[in-house]
Amino acid sequence: MCRTTVHTRCRSPCIRRPLAPCVIPRSPLRRNGSRTSTAWRARLRVPRPAGAGPEVGRQRHHTRRRIARPCAQLPEISPLVETSVPVRAGQPCDTCEPQRLLRTLQLARSSVNTSIDECCWMAVASLGMTIESTMSTGEFAAETRRALTLRHIEHVRAGTTDAHPDGVRVIPASEYLDPELAAAERALMHTVPLVAATSGELAGPRSYRTEMLFDVPVLLVRQDDGSVKAFLNSCSHRGARLLEGAGEVGKRISCSYHAWTYAPNGELKSVTQPGKFGKVELCDNGLVELPCAERYGLIFVMLDAQGEMDIDAFLGDFAPQLALCNLDTFKVADERTLPHEVNWKLALCGYLESYHVKVVHAKTLAAAFIGNVSTHDAFGPDGRHFRTTWSMNEVVQMAEAEDVDAVLDGLQYAPYNTVLYLYPNTVITAPDFIGIRFINRLFPGHQPHDQITHYRTMVPAFMTDDERAMVEPFQQVTRTAVEEEDYGQVPGINKAIRSGLRDSLLVGENEPTVTEMHRVMARALGRPNPDQPVTPSA
């Protein structure tokens, strides 16, 4: 059996104690390039050294999860990749650059015989096990993946990308500076469904979670029947906050101030020394309930207690796109809050175009993406929700194939990154290629130049802590890309337009989602489209 020996290129030792070499099996292929019908098991074979504990021996992982190959047109690779030096399973060294890890993942899918850092291989091998389990299956998912991949192939062949029909546009600086507009946008967001949490954060009956949506303290409680209710996190007596963080409420929710108690459904059950309050009607003094709904692994809340939420009408035909993310099978692995003195729409724009990837993310995401090749589609009422997808490097290989139908027929994963804009303030990133999800919620501040981003990293719910450690490098890549690279650019833009020396910003025709986001927000407020055509120079 042919084997490819992989040598390390790390600049410092990856291990602290000797271990035997590890062998990472690769998917066996038929001679015609297709997969064998027998499911192969992704596993790490680590011979146990003398005197080692039982946990170091042969390790089996989830079956039927593999690093999917992009198509059958690519040349066959060696079925085994064997490391020639010891490596600690699942622990890439600290000096492995994020770009190297992404490149390793790309090589793992591309069938290129080349040397690969074995410390990176361990993370990649584990990550490959999650990909198939997190991908959507079924006819709609396959058709969507096929259609979008074909669009990317056509763009790569033609050297094009989805473009806005109105071409290059100019966005006035007032869109980011006007205090009245900023106040109107905040008020608007109190009247529409907002993502408050994920389903996995309320795992069982009577589990609770608190959230701060703008300045509104919200309490989420899963009921005994499995539904979720949302309340103002405030006692009906003197307004004290009832709960903090997350946990289980038990049979009663008791206020820590004066011990008024409530049932998990918000009903007031008892009052301390009720005779001091005259005739208190318990049924009239329950918690303030907020409209709430749960769909596709997300919990939505409306901050208007008198409002009515029709979540299905709100999502419209965007619902199947959310369903493809399989968010109900994920759990939160990391949660961060990113406050910045920037306008929220300036921060949001960075999620909506791939034009910047090769420049801003040169040390992180650029290793996996073509850059400036993307698709744009609008969904829902008034086209308020968007899906944009960004081409990955594998599309170049697919575009070179003579038989594109064969490439699409053999498609095992999406060779693009999917970004969903869920109106008005949520962005969901769902990259099939690493089996992780990212949810970003952007909240405008009281001033036009203030905003807070709540950032969640989600991993498959079946993953153990050890498996999560193996894919941590890929989570770190994205955190670096968002927190340091994307958000590192926006403050400078914000300062430039606040200086009064910039009266507008330019949006290219290759950035259609950016233009459309501004239009959607304007239409929701009954305003005309804010963008204008470029005025030719005299």
Nearest to 195 by CA among 48, 314, 279: 314
| pLDDT band at residue 135 under the 50/70/90 scheme | low
- Report, as an integer, the average pLDDT of 407-427: 93
Q: Which residue has the higher pLDDT, 357 or 84?
A: 357
| pLDDT band at residue 471 under the 50/70/90 scheme | confident
The pLDDT of residue 464 is above 90: no
Position 134 scores a pLDDT of: 61
Asked if 291 and 230 count as a contact pair (C-beta separation under 8 A), the reply is: yes
313 alpha carbon, distance to own chain's centre:
24
The pLDDT of residue 501 is above 90: yes
Position 20 scores a pLDDT of: 30
Position 477 scores a pLDDT of: 82
Beta bridge partners of 198: 298
Position 36 scores a pLDDT of: 28
β-strands 289-290, 207-213 pairing: unpaired
Token code pair at residue 119: 């410390």
- Report, as an integer, the average pLDDT of 501-515: 96
Token code pair at residue 517: 């986001």
Position 322 scores a pLDDT of: 96
User: Looking at the chain, which residues constitute the CATH 2.102.10.10 domain(s)?
Assistant: 194-295
* Length of the chain measured in residues: 538
Spatial CB neighbours of 137, under 8 Å, sequence gap ≥ 6? none
HSE-CB for 445 with a 13 A CA cutoff:
16
What span, in angstroms and rounded, lies between the C-alpha atoms of 286 and 267?
5
Indicate the average pLDDT of the chain. Answer: 79
Convert the pLDDT of each residue in 310-326 to its tens digit: 999 999 999 999 999 99
β-strands 3-6, 80-83 pairing: parallel
Q: Describe the chain by its helix, strand, coil percentages, rounded to 5.
A: 30, 25, 45
What span, in angstroms and rounded, lies between the C-alpha atoms of 327 and 426?
14
Least confident span in 262-271, 361-370, 450-459, 523-532 = 361-370
What span, in angstroms and rounded, lies between the C-alpha atoms of 229 and 301?
9
What span, in angstroms and rounded, lies between the C-alpha atoms of 366 and 99?
8
Least confident span in 72-81, 113-122, 228-237 = 72-81
Per DSSP, the three-state class of 148 is helix
pLDDT above 70 as % of the chain: 74
Position 157 scores a pLDDT of: 96
Alpha-carbon dihedral sign for residues 8, 71, 398, 486? negative
Position 284 scores a pLDDT of: 79
| pLDDT band at residue 425 under the 50/70/90 scheme | very high
Position 434 scores a pLDDT of: 75
- Report, as an integer, the average pLDDT of 47-74: 32
- Report, as an integer, the average pLDDT of 486-503: 93
Q: Degrees (nearest 5) of the Cα angle 170, 176, 179?
A: 135
Per DSSP, the three-state class of 356 is coil
Q: Which residue has the higher pLDDT, 372 or 40?
A: 372
Convert the pLDDT of each residue in 164-182 to its tens digit: 999 999 999 999 999 999 9
Position 69 scores a pLDDT of: 31
* CB-count burial class (<10 Å; 0-12, 13-18, 19+) for 370: buried
The pLDDT of residue 12 is above 60: no
Nearest to 386 by CA among 435, 352, 432: 352
Helices 118-134 and 465-479: crossing angle in degrees, nearest 10, is 100
For 401-450, where are the E strands, in sequence order?
416-422, 426-431, 437-444
Convert the pLDDT of each residue in 388-401 to its tens digit: 999 999 899 999 99
pLDDT above 90 as % of the chain: 60
The CA–CA distances, whole Å, from 267 to 254, 274, 290 equal 12, 16, 14
Which superfamily, per CATH, for 148-188+309-533?
A: Naphthalene 1,2-dioxygenase Alpha Subunit; Chain A, domain 1 (3.90.380.10)
Spatial CB neighbours of 455, under 8 Å, sequence gap ≥ 6? 335, 336, 337, 338, 438, 439, 440, 482, 483
Widest Cα–Cα separation across the chain? 87
Convert the pLDDT of each residue in 247-295 to its tens digit: 999 899 999 999 999 999 999 999 888 777 777 777 778 999 999 999 9
Asked if 372 and 355 count as a contact pair (C-beta separation under 8 A), the reply is: yes
φ/ψ region of 81 (left if φ > 0, alpha if ψ in -120 to 50, else beta) reads beta
CATH architecture of 194-295: 3-layer Sandwich (2.102)
What span, in angstroms and rounded, lies between the C-alpha atoms of 197 and 224?
18
User: Looking at the chain, which residues constitute the CATH 3.90.380.10 domain(s)?
Assistant: 148-188+309-533
Please state, as a whole number, how many other Cβ atoms lie within 10 Å of the Cβ of residue 77.
Answer: 20
The pLDDT of residue 473 is above 90: no
